[in-house]
Amino acid sequence: MNKYESIIIIDQNVDEEGIKALISKFTDLINTEGKVLNVNEMGKRKLAYEIGKNKEGFYVVFDFEAKPELIAELERNYRITDNVIKFLVIKKDEE
């Protein structure tokens, strides 16, 4: 299994319960074929540029281990989730 880091930006208009639900959804998805090591909720921050009329977003960082096949499914779920306005998945180098 490889180590990955995934950053998602959630729409600024989503309430706290909705954010918790999204984090839980993606954590469960990763845990089906991998293991979540850490979830860092960075909170609401100003975006560098406007994304779909959003000037702020709620940042969440997932550190996890998974097989490469899981990444395509995770990214597909990010794309079809309306409240995720941006995402990035990075493979970490082995230390």
pLDDT score recorded for residue 95? 61
Give per-residue pLDDT as tens, 24-43: 999 999 999 889 999 999 99
- The pTM assigned to this predicted structure is 0.89
In order of start, what are the domains of the chain with their CATH numbers?
2-86 (3.30.70.60)
Share of the chain above pLDDT 70, in %: 99
Alpha carbon dihedral 45, 37, 23, 52, in 10-degree steps, equals 40
Rounded Cα distance, 5 and 63, in Å: 5
pLDDT category at 47 given cuts 50, 70, 90 is: very high
Give mean pLDDT, residues 55-71.
Answer: 93
